[in-house]
Amino acid sequence: MVALTAVSTAVSAQDLLANKAPSDRTLKDLKTIKINNTPAFVDLHNPAGEIYTTWDHTSALIAPGVMPPNFKVDLRGFAMPTPSRKITSKFGPRWGRQHKGLDIKVYIGDTIYAAFDGKVRIVKYNAGGWGYYVVLRHPNGLETLYGHLSKQLVKEDEIVRAGQPIGLGGNSGASTGSHLHFETRLLGTAINPALMFDFEAQDVTGDYYVVNSGKIQNAKNTVVATAPKEEETAPVSQNIVIQLPAATPKAPAIAPAATETQAPATPKQPESKTPKELTYVVKKGDTPYSIAKNHGISLDQLYKLNGLKPGANIKAGQVLKCS
């Protein structure tokens, strides 16, 4: 894979860059790609619409949707968010809490770039956290967050391209020095960006990452790491593979033919009556998808049977209709 290179820009030139941003507004909103050698289009107005059920500008963390059991995140067509190679703080526990991104050393005014094609979901300021920050949703299913900026160069609902300037490095919010706080999230769950982005090598770690049963797999190097559990609940792809397990068909009940003169070999047991309406009590850890799968119905059927909107939350003890 060819790593992207970046030409350093003097800090004094950043105001000129800011005045020109956002860049080319004549870019089309549909991108031609190939899936299984067949031309197709990705609608950047609704990136990753297959798994996300909402689009809003209120919360950077909450991104409700339905996660398929096997999901391939396409890392091709990437751009490094910054040419800086220095990581100042890693993903994981820090100061008694979970640090859900990477801190990369940048200077005030350094250009920050969009990691993939996508759409701007949030452009806001958070005094006690990320300061000036931007959240992008991408067709590959990821959402990327860029924090502690000194200036935001894009607006909410704007279509952006990989490598397009979206902000300038800074020291805003809860920050003790200029740096870029960079997060990668899937359906609101933070994933260690180092599993996908190698800032030292200025490259991605592979062509794909496969999310399967809570694990993140490097499809290039076959390195498997478990995604961290989080208390918080917070991106259609260039080549997305969603594998849904086929429902097990129910075997038809076949009863032996009986004649009037033939006596049964064993006493006939009373037939059990199937209830007209099968219900299920939600247990801790259940998801709408797991319940639908276990009862041989589709997720849409489960939602319709219970009058729920797609992506609605369920809770333990709740009684659901399953037939």
pLDDT in tens, 100-129: 899 999 999 999 999 999 999 999 999 989
- CA dihedral sign of residues 156, 160, 162, 168: negative
- CA dihedral sign of residues 207, 39, 241, 71: positive
State the pLDDT at residue 95.
76
Q: Report residue 202's pLDDT band, with 50, 70 and 90 as the boundaries.
A: very high
pLDDT tens-place string over residues 1-13: 434 434 444 444 4
In the chain, CATH 3.10.350.10 sits at: 279-321
Residue 97 or 231, more confident: 97
Residue 323 or 245, more confident: 323
Task: Assign 240 to helix, strand or coil.
Answer: coil
- Mean pLDDT within 243-265: 42
State the pLDDT at residue 228.
37
- Mean pLDDT within 167-171: 97
pLDDT tens-place string over residues 224-251: 333 333 333 333 333 333 333 333 444 4
Alpha helices in 10-168 (DSSP H): 14-20
- Mean pLDDT within 37-55: 79
CATH 3.30.70.360 fits 279-321, yes or no: no
pLDDT at 299 over 50: yes
The mean pLDDT value of the chain amounts to 74
Q: Which of 237, 29, 33, 41 is nearest to 140 (CA)?
A: 237
Distance of alpha carbon 85 from alpha carbon 104, whole angstroms = 7
In angstroms, the Cα distances linking 83 to 34, 135, 161, 197 are 29, 19, 17, 12
Q: Report residue 30's pLDDT band, with 50, 70 and 90 as the boundaries.
A: low
| Euclidean distance between the first and the last CA atom of the chain, given in angstroms as a whole number | 50
Q: Report residue 31's pLDDT band, with 50, 70 and 90 as the boundaries.
A: low
Q: Report residue 285's pLDDT band, with 50, 70 and 90 as the boundaries.
A: confident
In the chain, CATH 2.70.70.10 sits at: 16-243
pTM: 0.58
Q: Architecture of domain 16-243 in CATH?
A: Distorted Sandwich (2.70)
Helix (H) or strand (E) holding 185: strand 180-186
Q: Which of 221, 211, 149 is nearest to 184 (CA)?
A: 211
pLDDT over 70, % of the chain: 67
Q: Report residue 257's pLDDT band, with 50, 70 and 90 as the boundaries.
A: very low
State the pLDDT at residue 83.
97
pLDDT at 275 over 60: no
